Amino acid sequence: MPHEREQWATRAGFILAAIGSAIGLGNIWRFPYVAYEHGGGAFLLPYLIALLTAGIPLLILEYTIGRRSRRSPPYAYRALARPAETIGWWQVAICFVIATYYAVIIAWAVRYTGFSFGQDWQPDPEAFLIQDFLQRADEPGMVSSYVAGVAWPLIAVWAVTLGVLALGIRRGIERANKIFIPLLALLFGILVVQALTLEGASLGLDAFFTPDWDAITRGSVWVAAYGQIFFSLSVGFGIMITYASYLGRRADLTGSAMVAGFANSSFEILAGIGVFAALGFMATAAGVGVGDVLGEGGIGLAFIAFPQIISSMPAAGSLFGVLFFGALVIAGVSSLISIVQVVISAVQDRTGWPRVPSVLVVGGAIALASILLFPTTEGLYILDAADHFVNQYGIAMAALVAVIVIAWVLRRLPTLRDHANETSAVRLDRWWLITLGLITPLVLGWMMVDSVREELAARYEGYPLGFLLIAGWGVAAGVLVVGVVLAALPSRRVERLTSVVESEGRR
């Protein structure tokens, strides 16, 4: 018999966990930069349309698949059709890879929370990050030496993450997010209020919100809006299917998806206000434009631009740094927990192992890979290449394949719509079928074509081809191969579970 499936204690617990998964590092450093680069205030219109026509419909789809089967992604897809199990294992492999490098960025944020007290990165934050802290090698390559200052906080991050996961859905993940999400909102709320009081904050807000209406006519802006929604809502790699599999039979799916989707987007806009208010202060102090101090969205914005801002503050700079990097840690850990839970849930379904052994074996394997690869002098290069390729040709590609298979090959959207409508406050109608059957595949397909065109035009970041074939293309192809192999492996337990999953899927 399959192990007894846990359930969330409350609907609020599930929603907070879903919000905790969606609100991660990318919300804080990626959205403000993407919005600024693609029309400022005018970007918010395509962004909102993308949320309504792709983000929330995809959330509802994944919630429905997970709740309907009450299994992890491989067996949730298997309930739709046996060959579709490959998609689920593909997503599990993606989560394994992402978790290994996502944890190390959280470890950086842990150290930078401490660095904020003495502003240790002065006088050159970029040199401090690259040379002093990460001790980055001169060129990409495989592991040669370890960096102790990155390794020990990474071990601590994994200890906390696996500890929460070992406690289970109710006592671990649900309770943790009931602490993490209100604390994250409090910390970031204080940070935004403080940023708005800085001299020059209005200059930053003008840069962030001033609309470039001509941008709306550019296709690249719409692709960027949809891309931000896909990557920020934790859709496409099995997290929401996994979380929804622990829901009760009467859970409201559409209402929960709308709450989680709008909460995520609200936090992104709040992050944009806080980040650009701070950038406006720095630009005013330096006598330059906001674009001149922005740099790049991502690691550069978080670990180079923000330390510069903190060092420029006449007072309370250290507090600002603690709030900012503390918020990164909390947002990161809540997302990391959800990513690792996908892998643990799939292994539990396949093997029947209890939770604690599953966490120790599976979570321990992910942690070990993370600790061996990333707190190294070459770790930043490996992280950059793996993140780029697994996002572009892992998450986005898996989402595209899943939508096409469900909507066009299996034609299961009407069945899933009816299942969601049985218990949902907001009923799904023709609009849901159109968005998932037409709009989402077209946008994701265009993103794939555009991305491949850019890859063929020039090697990513000018990295050596051999390095990219291993750490980039190799990783993207590897997760797909692992998915195919795991789906093909025979298992007596899988056969016993199949009858249960398929009977659940017919309900």
What's the pLDDT score for residue 312? Answer: 81
Tokens 């067996």 belong to 75
Q: What burial class does residue 126 get, using C-beta atoms within 10 Å of its C-beta: 0-12 exposed, 13-18 middle, 19+ buried?
A: middle
State what percent of residues in the chain have pLDDT above 90.
Answer: 60
Q: Is the pLDDT of residue 492 over 80?
A: no
Is there a domain that residue 168 lies in? no
Phi, psi for residue 8 in degrees, rounded to 5: -65, 145
What's the pLDDT score for residue 131? Answer: 93
Is there a domain that residue 149 lies in? no
pLDDT (average), residues 481-496: 79
DSSP sequence for 327-390? HHHHHHHHHHHHHHHHHHHHHHHHH---HHHHIIIIIHHHHHHHHHHSSBTTHHHHHHHHHHHH
Is there a domain that residue 313 lies in? yes
Give residue-wise pLDDT tens across range 133-161. Answer: 999 999 998 888 999 999 999 999 999 99
pTM for this entry = 0.92
Provide the number of structural domains found in the chain: 1
Is there a domain that residue 146 lies in? no
pLDDT bracket for residue 1 (50, 70, 90): very low
pLDDT (average), residues 89-99: 96
Average pLDDT, the chain: 89
State what percent of residues in the chain have pLDDT above 70.
Answer: 95
Is there a domain that residue 142 lies in? no
What's the pLDDT score for residue 117? Answer: 92
**Segments forming the whole domain that contains residue 295:** 12-93+177-360+388-505
If one compares 490 and 148, the residue with the highest pLDDT of the two is 148
What's the pLDDT score for residue 141? Answer: 86
Give residue-wise pLDDT tens across range 50-73. Answer: 999 999 999 999 999 999 999 999
Return the CATH number at 277.
1.20.1740
CA distance 291 to 199: 17
Is there a domain that residue 311 lies in? yes
Among 33-37, 172-176, 314-318, the range scoring the smallest mean pLDDT is: 314-318
To 5 degrees, how large is the angle CA 311–CA 315–CA 320? Answer: 65
Is there a domain that residue 295 lies in? yes
Is there a domain that residue 354 lies in? yes
Residues in Cβ contact with 3 at an 8 Å cutoff, skipping those fewer than 6 apart: 348, 352, 353, 354
